[in-house]
Amino acid sequence: LKAEVKKMKITKTGTKGLDLIKKFEGFRSLPYLCPAKVPTIGFGATYYPNGSKVTMNDKPITEAVATELLASMIVGYEKSVDSFCRDDINQNQFDALVSFCYNLGSGNLKISGLLKKVNTNPNDETIKAEFMKWVKAGGRTLPGLVKRREAESTLYFTK
């Protein structure tokens, strides 16, 4: 008798996912306004581990502190992807969906056609088109969001 191998459920973002988020967020030591006009610092952090929001008057932070901020912020997005998505998605799929959530918020994943398709068939090729529906900010298509969604969908379908 062969022992049944139980596949581990993915619940933490891997290196590829973290690298993708860091690449697209970019590191900024000083507070800045993101395209949605929200005060942001580090790798796209809009709040601190204690729950307080980033303000334009905050002190500069180091890249090490920004990485810690990212690690603490990402936990909530990992929990969202874990709770919203079927349990058999692979690491690259999980990472791409966490990056999507980190950028757009868990609420947008929850209401998206992207999530419906992932939960119906995580290998459905039309999932790429669902990523690409999320490239606008303030009603305008942003080239940076187009590149990010392309990178997320490429990671999602990487075997």
| Catalytic hit among 4, 25, 125, 130 | 25
The string of DSSP letters for 121-139 reads -TT-TTHHHHHTT--EETT
Neighbours of 7 (CB within 10 A): 8
The string of DSSP letters for 68-98 reads HHHHHHHHHHHHHHHHHS-TT--HHHHHHHH
> Quick check: helix, strand or coil at residue 107?
helix
CA atoms within 13 A on the CB side of 133: 12
Cβ neighbours of residue 56 closer than 8 Å, sequence gap 6 or more: 31, 33, 39
Active site residue 25: yes
Active site residues: 25
